[in-house]
Structure 1
Amino acid sequence: MNSKLKQLIDDFIQHEVLSGTSLVMTIFGDSIYHRGGVISLASLIQLMDVFGFNERSVRTAVFRLVQNGWLSSEKIGRTSYYRVTESSRQRFTTADQKIYSFQHSEWDQKWDLVLLSSVEIENKLNLKKELEWLGFANIASNVMAYPGCDQQKLQHLLLNHNMTEQVVVFRAETLDLWQESYPTIKRMVSTNWPIEELHQRYEKFISTFREFFYLVENEDFDPVQAFQIRILLIHQYRRILLKDPNLPFELLPSNWPSLIARNLSTNLYQAVFHRGDEFFLEYARTAEGGMPPAHPQFYKRFGGLKQLEMMA
């Protein structure tokens, strides 16, 4: 075991506020979802142990995820198994695309506006959260906006929530009626989206995981450490990306660090991926035995990963 890397990992786990529930979600999304989406509780306890979580905290975490509809549980004999629910599969897929696939298109100067004035109060908060998941922000009373959203995803969201008769969707365009309008637009964006907070979080992420990358690039490390780094990397990156509305670069500060974070994540993930999988596959079990082969989409992450298990 690499002692320098061990110290860095231990320090990170000790000083970061890690939620057991959130970390279980990261392990499901990163390692389990594309391999059938089910794992034994005993396996999950072993995997979480390397992050300092005991059996009781893991049981509490999966109980909460079942209560919130993310996972379902079943017992076969004396062994409990946890599975991704059908209702949460789309969320896992959306998060997977956002984390592992880079998608950023040139802005067409258009804005998508969703008017919520006809939405019943009890549904409004939930719909706002779902729109924020797509990157929308509340720019005025009952008006959510995004500069050039994925209209197919928006349509799917509104149909899923039976909101087609309660909201009105508009398309607006930025008019260049005077010179130098971008500073005004950027101020509006920074007021309504968490630009400064995201910038700080990206900078901290880059500073932290550059140290990890330097060590894995220059020194040897074992499968346990590879798994720890891989999960901690995705856990922290996921937490930033799910807050990042992925706004057009034209509306962001010139020193916006998301591409640096993306390149760092790509390089570090590819460096630890296979050794991390060795550890995961050694301990992860389903009712049929070992984990099934991963879905082909799994190997398209961060530009492509070699399918070593398929070559064995």
Structure 2
Amino acid sequence: MKPRSLMFTLYGEYIKHYGGEVWVGSLIQLMGKFGVSESSVRGAIFRMVQKNLLQVRKIGNKSYYSVTELGRRRIEDGVKRVYTTQSQAWDGMWRILTYSFPEEKRELRNIIRKELNWTGFGVISNSTWVSPNPLEEQVLEMIDTYKIHDHTFLMSAGSIVSHDNESIIKKGWDLEKISSEYDGFIENLTPKFEELREKALNNLLTDDECFIERTKLVHEYRKFLFQDPGFPRDLLPNNWSGSKARDLFWQTHQLISIPAVRCFEQLFESPPDIDVEKNRNRAINPFREITVPF
């Protein structure tokens, strides 16, 4: 696992529930369980600080790191999409974003493309992105964050006259490919789930093993956020593999969550000047934290 991506997983899965600020020594120990060296951890932290994703606070001779507002938004968006259940009903509206950047802002244009892809938008023509989900608030927050009001237009429409909904979906997303990726996820995870369940029944699971397996599970599942737009179910094909993958993800996650959180708590250290409210229940079962998504 790449250090930066692993760090996002750790913040979203655990650290956010314990005040959101962690001693760098704890990060080194936590990431060391995945074979990430101390130098790699420090290098990833340095790059994330440079990109305004992490911020540091010094207390004595110790450094404590928390996510910036930009980092928090990325983590919260990811957590919402991982742990919410898709609604059945589509409200019938398409959200449409168009943009036009001058050539000297090409790098910013590429960043916005990645943000839109991450949020679940699909591109249907040059500089035109759409989504059937009510993401207006998130998109406006993105526009404010990057200060791109002069380069973007956000609209909503009940229909797109030149194309029906099925054609729009085919233009913007490759659902067959995404479904195939989900099938591979299910194929790989099913024997691991059976193995973990057998160990749990025989009281053979260790806290360390559960922490590693839960973190790897979420890390792998998060990759679908870059592919799956998270459509309302009435826009998805019948027997959508994403629903089966989600059920298996949930079962595996809950099987190993309690010992995984115990392992995390043993290594986690927060700043001494903060009375951290340890929200173990949400760390153990984040599925209860968020209700209906769209």
Match of 1:97 among 61, 75, 80: 80
Q: Distance in 1 between matches of 2:128 and 2:225?
A: 23
**Residue in 1 that maps onto 2:218:** 234
Establish whether residue 31 from structure 1 lines up as the match of residue 14 from structure 2.
Answer: yes
Q: Distance in 1 between matches of 2:7 and 2:145?
A: 27
How much does 1:250 deviate? 4.1
Deviations 1:111-167 (A, max 9, x none): 2222324x4441433333332232222211232112243223233333444444443
Deviations 1:240-297 (A, max 9, x none): 1243211233443323211112111211111111101111111111232999333475
Q: Distance in 2 between matches of 1:44 and 1:302?
A: 24
**Residue in 2 that maps onto 1:275:** 259
**Residue in 2 that maps onto 1:81:** 64
How much does 1:300 deviate? 5.6
Matches within 5 A, 1:191-206: 191-206=171-186
Q: Distance in 2 between matches of 1:233 and 1:162?
A: 35
Q: Structure 1 residues 289 and 45 mapped into 2: Cα distance closer, same or farther (>3 Å)?
A: farther
Establish whether residue 50 from structure 1 lines up as the match of residue 50 from structure 2.
Answer: no
Match of 2:276 among 267, 283, 292: 292
Q: Distance in 2 between matches of 1:209 and 1:165?
A: 46
Q: Distance in 2 between matches of 1:290 and 1:98?
A: 29
SS of the aligned residue for 2:63 comes to: strand
Provide structure 2 residue ranges, at least 5 long, that are not aligned to the other structure: 290-294
How much does 1:222 deviate? 0.6
Match of 2:228 among 218, 235, 244: 244
How much does 1:226 deviate? 0.7
Deviations 1:32-64 (A, max 9, x none): 122111212221222122212222222222222
Match of 1:138 among 103, 120, 123: 123
8 Å Cα contact 2:98-2:127 kept in structure 1: yes
Cα RMSD of the aligned pairs, angstroms, is: 2.9
Q: Distance in 2 between matches of 1:233 and 1:258?
A: 15
Q: Distance in 1 between matches of 2:238 and 2:114?
A: 28
Q: Distance in 1 between matches of 2:240 and 2:255?
A: 25
Establish whether residue 265 from structure 1 lines up as the match of residue 245 from structure 2.
Answer: no
Amino acid of the structure 1 residue aligned with 2:241 = P
How much does 1:71 deviate? 1.1
Q: Distance in 2 between matches of 1:99 and 1:197?
A: 19
SS of the aligned residue for 1:133 comes to: helix
**Residue in 2 that maps onto 1:310:** none
**Residue in 2 that maps onto 1:108:** 91
**Residue in 1 that maps onto 2:292:** none
Provide structure 1 residue ranges, at least 5 long, that are not aligned to the other structure: 1-17, 305-312
Higher relative contact order (CA 8 A, sep 6+): 2
8 Å Cα contact 1:285-1:291 kept in structure 2: no
Q: Distance in 2 between matches of 1:217 and 1:31?
A: 23
How much does 1:223 deviate? 0.3
Aligned length: 282
Establish whether residue 126 from structure 1 lines up as the match of residue 111 from structure 2.
Answer: yes
Q: Distance in 1 between matches of 2:211 and 2:285?
A: 19
8 Å Cα contact 2:123-2:171 kept in structure 1: no
8 Å Cα contact 2:86-2:232 kept in structure 1: no
Match of 2:142 among 157, 175, 199: 157
**Residue in 2 that maps onto 1:167:** 152
Q: Distance in 2 between matches of 1:39 and 1:170?
A: 40
8 Å Cα contact 1:114-1:167 kept in structure 2: yes
Q: Distance in 1 between matches of 2:133 and 2:268?
A: 41
Match of 1:209 among 179, 183, 189: 189
Q: TM-score, normalising length from structure 2?
A: 0.83
**Stretch moving more, 164-173 or 84-93:** 164-173
Bigger Rg, which one: 1
Q: Percent identity?
A: 28
8 Å Cα contact 2:120-2:225 kept in structure 1: no
